[in-house]
Amino acid sequence: MAEHIITLSDGTFDEAVGASSEPIVVDFWAEWCGPCKMIAPILDEVATEQAGKLKVAKLNVDDAPDTARRFDVMSIPTLIVFQDGQPKKRLVGAKSKGQLLAELDEFLG
Amino acid sequence: MDNSHKVVIIGSGPAGLTAAIYAARANLAPLVIEGEPSSTSDQPGGQLMLTTEVENFPGFPDGILGPELMDRMRQQAIRFGATLRTDRVTRVDFSERPFRVWIGDEELRSDAVIIATGAQSLMLGLESEQRLLGHGLSTCATCDGFFFRNHEIAVVGGGDSAAEEALFLTKFASKVILIHRRRELRASKILQDRVFANPKIEILWDHVVVDLLGDTKLEGAVVRDVVTGEEQKLAVSGLFVAIGHRPNTDLFKGVLDMDDAGYLLTSHGTRTNVEGVFACGDVQDHVYRQAVTAAGSGCMAAIDAERWLEAMAHAAR
């Protein structure tokens, strides 16, 4: 996994997301999800290219079911953008890099 | 990158990748434009990327996972020299040769084109659908089944996909209602037998979904009996749609001959009405629609393209 991507768990989620000074995109994913694998390299690139403006984190729903349930995740991949610890935007389903960057534009300031 | 190619293949399901393997082994250095990530079954790897176990692909007696099968085909194509690009074709011009294919503003040229863009899942066509997609409404049982542990859910459809999804979802759900608009399933016999034998699956014959309930997440579905017209509410928290597919042929409207449903018409193997443009897989097949038939027709398209290119070269000498 790319060095810029943060791995979250039920235990570390609140602190990592709450303490982030930049907007943070959390990718709710799992090993058995084909579309999740498709967007993984795109997220790696976005994390590297937008470093300093935006953080990218991954949360494996198999390992962290409580957090997934707390945010009503019912489909993966789901990306939720958090700002100041609050969920601001939710993107469901795999997307191309262009579509993803367009959706994230408002957070890239 | 050089923008002139002998063969460009559009699509990367079993048809496109088999065409790539054959074209690469014929030294045609094919370029595969494999599509962009999406969750609507027009993604790289095609519809098998949204499935789990593939039990009927010859050579895998114990079955193989759909995404793994596609990864293997991809590696095989790369091994023989195919180039793959994870992009979406936005426009084509087949009015003169070499043919032109665009990815955004980038123009590519190719002597022959093989179309293997496949088909994508049909939705119900309800207004509530966009609001609830990803919030209880799903087109991918393998992606989302996990979130419905001990829930009562429903699957809409009566074909192989619907039967497979219903069976898969019994691993998680407490009950699966299979809603089908007819009195019998279209699914293969082996799947039908498994559906009928599964105590968690209940079939609601002769019903269609007419509305979805819930503002921010799915709380139920309204179904109508197509015989009596009677409506009832089903209290399900998940609804999985598997009512069929539509071919991905928007790019070729007015350019290539297609039937009323939008499937490309082919003749003499895989030839379309434009000489030098070939089509294979689900984009031209609404009858068989199997991974193995798609792969078979992909092989045919590569051989047809190779022979056609040879004949062109010979004529030019």
pLDDT tens for each residue of B8-17? 999 999 999 9
Residues B259 and B189 in one domain: no
- Examine the fold and report which residue of B241, B261, B288 is the final residue of a domain before the chain moves on: B241
Q: How confident is the model at residue B121 (pLDDT cuts 50, 70, 90)?
A: confident
Q: What is the mean pLDDT of residues A11-30?
A: 95
- Chain B, window 198-257: residues with a beta carbon less than 8 angstroms from a chain A beta carbon: 216-217, 238
Residue B41 and residue B60: Cα distance in Å, rounded?
A: 23
Catalytic, A53? Answer no
The β-bridge partners of B277 are B113
Does B82 share its domain with B104?
yes
- Supply the pLDDT for residue B298: 98
Could you tell me if B134 and B234 lie in one domain?
Answer: yes
Q: For the stretch A14-23, what's the b/e string if a residue is b when 16 or more beta carbons lie within 10 angstroms of its beta carbon?
A: eebbeebeeb
Q: What is the pLDDT of residue B40?
A: 74
ipTM: 0.79
B227 and B255 in a single domain? The answer is: no
Q: What is chain B's mean pLDDT, rounded? A: 95
Interface with chain B: mutation pick from A28, A37, A38, highest number of B CBs within 10 Å: A38
CA–CA separation, B233 and B179 (whole Å): 12
**Residues B267, B159 share a domain:** no
Please check the confidence at residue B42 and state whether its pLDDT lies above 90: no
Beta strands at B277-279 and B106-115: parallel, antiparallel or unpaired? parallel
A46, pLDDT greater than 90: yes
A102 burial (CB, 10 Å; 0-12 / 13-18 / 19+) is exposed
Judge whether A53 is closer than 8 Å to chain B, CB to CB. no
**How far, in Å, CA of B223 to CA of B203, rounded?**
13
pLDDT at B50: 84
Picking from A77-81, B144-148, B218-222, which range would have the lowest pLDDT averaged per residue?
B144-148
User: Residue A29: what pLDDT?
Assistant: 96
Domain final position from B176, B206, B241? B241
Let me know whether B141 and B181 are in one domain: yes
pLDDT of residue B1: 53
Written as one letter, the residue type at B41 is S
Residues 6+ apart with CB under 8 A from A32: B52, B142, B146
Query: Among the CATH numbers 3.40.605.10, 3.40.1710.10, 3.40.30.10, 3.30.565.10, which is that of A5-107?
Result: 3.40.30.10
What is the mean predicted confidence (pLDDT) over A99-107?
A: 95
pLDDT for res B268:
96
Tens digit of pLDDT for each residue in A53-100?
999 999 999 999 999 999 999 999 999 999 999 999 999 999 999 999
Domain boundaries, chain A: 5-107
Cβ-based contacts of B36 with chain A (< 8 Å): 95-96, 99
> What is the arithmetic mean of pLDDT over B53-79?
94
Does one domain contain both B225 and B250? no
CATH number at residue B44: 3.50.50.60
User: Would you call A35 and B43 a contact, using CB atoms and an 8 Å cutoff?
Assistant: yes
Chain A, 30 to 49: residues with Cβ < 8 Å from chain B are 30, 32-39, 42
Torsion over CA: A27, B172, A72, B132 (sign): positive
Instruction: Determine contact: A102 vs chain B, CB below 8 A.
Output: no
Rounded CA separation B93/A98 (Å): 24
Number of other residues whose CB lies within 10 A of the CB of residue A72? 16
Q: What is the pLDDT of residues B290-312, one digit of tens each?
A: 999 999 999 999 999 999 999 99
| B50 and B10 housed in the same domain | yes
Q: Are B252 and B189 contained in the same domain?
A: no
How high is the mean pLDDT of chain A? 92
Tokens of B149: 């542990």
Is B109 in the same domain as B185?
A: no
**What pLDDT sits at residue B215?**
93
Nearest to B172 by CA among B141, B208, B148: B148
Task: Find the CB nearest B38 among A30, A76, A93.
Answer: A93
Inform me whether the pLDDT recorded for B227 exceeds 60. Answer: yes
**Full residue range of the structural domain in which residue B216 is found:** 128-241
Q: Is the pTM above the cut of 0.90?
A: no
Mean pLDDT of all residues in B33-39:
90
Q: Are residues B226 and B153 in the same domain?
A: yes
What is the count of structural domains for chain B?
Answer: 2
Residue entry with tokens 């665009």: B102
Is a pLDDT exceeding 60 seen at residue A1?
no
Q: Do residue B249 and residue B237 come from a single domain?
A: no
Residue B267 DSSP code = B
> End of a domain among B215, B241, B267?
B241
